Each structure stands twice: as C-alpha cells, then as structure tokens.
C-alpha cells in the first residue's frame, strides 16, 4: 500500500490563515492603543508582552496549519514546523476523536493514544465543524492503515 499524507487541504489552510490574520489585527490594535494611551514608563513591558504573545500565536498557527502526518507501513511520521517524530504502529493503543470546549467554540481533533508515553495530537485534523466529513475520512484512513499494519 502506498504511503498516505494526513493534513489540511489548501482551502482549510486559507481559512485558518484568515482567522489568524484577524487575531493578529486585533492584537496589533491593542498594542497600538496601549502604546498611545498609556504614559507610564512601564508600558513598554506590556507592549513587549503583546509582541511576544503574537509571535507565539503565529508560530503555533504555522505549526498547526502546515503540520502533517505520513502514514507508512511501519507507523506514523509526524512532520511539523518544530519537530519530527516517528510512532510505530505497534506503539499505538487507539486512535481517538477528542472534543475541546473553549470560549471561541467547540473544537475536535484526532489523537494517537500510545501504549506507553503521552498521547499525540495528529496535525492537520482539528476542526470546529460539528459533522466534518473530512475529519471522519482522515480518521477512517488512519484506522484502516493501523488495522492493516497490526493484522486485525
């Protein structure tokens, strides 16, 4: 069986970049408003804090949007902006769909639960759509490859 990539398609990448752009504009507005309205000598600490937070948000977004997983005959190869990792199929206990609730809404993603070690979120699988056919397809492909690899 050929290797399969799991990640965001170009339309989803563009959608998440728009959300990040709006957030960055809001943070830039807060930073400008703080620098113009505050006359305290310590205001630059606040502005610097907002800048550092913005950089972290952008790096996290790049990691989330462009991260992918390659499904091979031997396991999952995680390839993100900040790391590379291989998880063998024999280490996988299950693939689960996880729901997270935040102020901005409800989010779902897929996780690899390992027999030993911590669970890993599969990049390119988070969504805020309740019934996301693309997420279901990705989960089915991963489950199928895992079943074939372990001989289920």
Residue with the bigger pLDDT between 92 and 57: it is 92
The pLDDT score that the predictor gives to residue 103 is 84
Instruction: Give the CA distances from residue 47 to residues 22, 42, 58, 67, 102, in Å, rounded to whole numbers and listed in that order.
Output: 19, 9, 17, 30, 26
| Residue 142 pLDDT exceeds 90 | yes
Q: How far apart are CA 148 and CA 152, in angstroms?
A: 6
Count CA atoms closer than 13 A to 131's CA, side-chain side: 0
Paired residues of 87 in beta bridges: 76
State the pTM of this model: 0.76
């Amino acid at each position: 069986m050929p290797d399969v990539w799991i990640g965001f398609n170009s339309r989803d990448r563009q959608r998440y970049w728009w959300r990040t752009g709006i957030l960055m504009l809001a943070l830039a507005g807060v930073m400008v408003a703080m620098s113009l309205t505050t006359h305290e000598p310590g205001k630059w600490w606040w502005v610097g804090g907002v800048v550092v937070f913005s950089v972290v948000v952008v790096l996290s977004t790049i990691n989330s949007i462009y991260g992918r997983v390659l499904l091979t005959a031997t396991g999952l190869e995680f390839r993100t902006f900040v790391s590379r990792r291989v998880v063998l199929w024999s280490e996988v206990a299950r693939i689960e769909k996880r729901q997270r609730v935040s102020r901005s809404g409800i989010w779902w993603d897929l996780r690899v639960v390992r027999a030993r070690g911590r669970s890993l979120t599969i990049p390119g699988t988070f969504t805020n759509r309740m019934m996301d056919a693309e997420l279901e397809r990705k989960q089915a492909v991963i489950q199928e490859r895992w079943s074939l690899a372990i001989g289920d």
